[in-house]
Amino acid sequence: MTQHPKDLDNQPSDKPVAVVLGGSRGLGFLVARELVDRGHQVVVAAR
């Protein structure tokens, strides 16, 4: 799931973007995975 800056595409995307807080484990992790599986671009924030 991790992308490095050199791997990122700078072109606009039609994919919806989701921000998931607490996504390193538990419910936040499951929500993030489900959103990725449904085609979203996901930004995860965690401690």
What are the sequence ranges of the domains in the chain? 5-45
Residue written as tokens 């599986």? 37
Sorted by sequence, the CB contacts under 8 Å of residue 40 that are 6+ apart come out as 15, 16, 17, 18
Q: What percent of the chain has pLDDT over 90?
A: 66
pLDDT value of residue 13 = 83
pLDDT, averaged across the chain? 87
Residue range 28-45, pLDDT digits in tens: 999 999 999 999 999 999
Q: Judge whether residue 6 has pLDDT over 70.
A: no
